[in-house]
Amino acid sequence: MPIHEDMQKALESYLGHHNAINAIKTFSQRTVGKAPEALTREDVPHLLDALRPMLNTLVGQDTARRILDDIRRKVLA
């Protein structure tokens, strides 16, 4: 599965399908200047750092940390 799809799946249960797609699209373009389909493993840490403040606000720091750790584990394993 492509990196952006793994990240999107992990976010969907917390943000919903549409919002997860938009978050990955927006943050990948703003953070690393790439379309989601072009993300590489090297881009993942930067994207996760960019997503952290939004997730902290939406789901709280503990849940955000779990989500980001889960994404990191799945995508960078």
Average pLDDT estimate for 9-18: 91
Model confidence at 60, pLDDT cuts 50, 70, 90, reads: very high
Model confidence at 1, pLDDT cuts 50, 70, 90, reads: confident
- pLDDT computed for residue 13 by the predictor: 85
Model confidence at 68, pLDDT cuts 50, 70, 90, reads: very high
Please give the helix or strand (H or E) that residue 57 lies within, else none.
helix 44-59
- Which range of residues forms the domain containing residue 55? 3-76
* Total number of domains constituting the chain: 1
Average pLDDT estimate for 66-71: 92
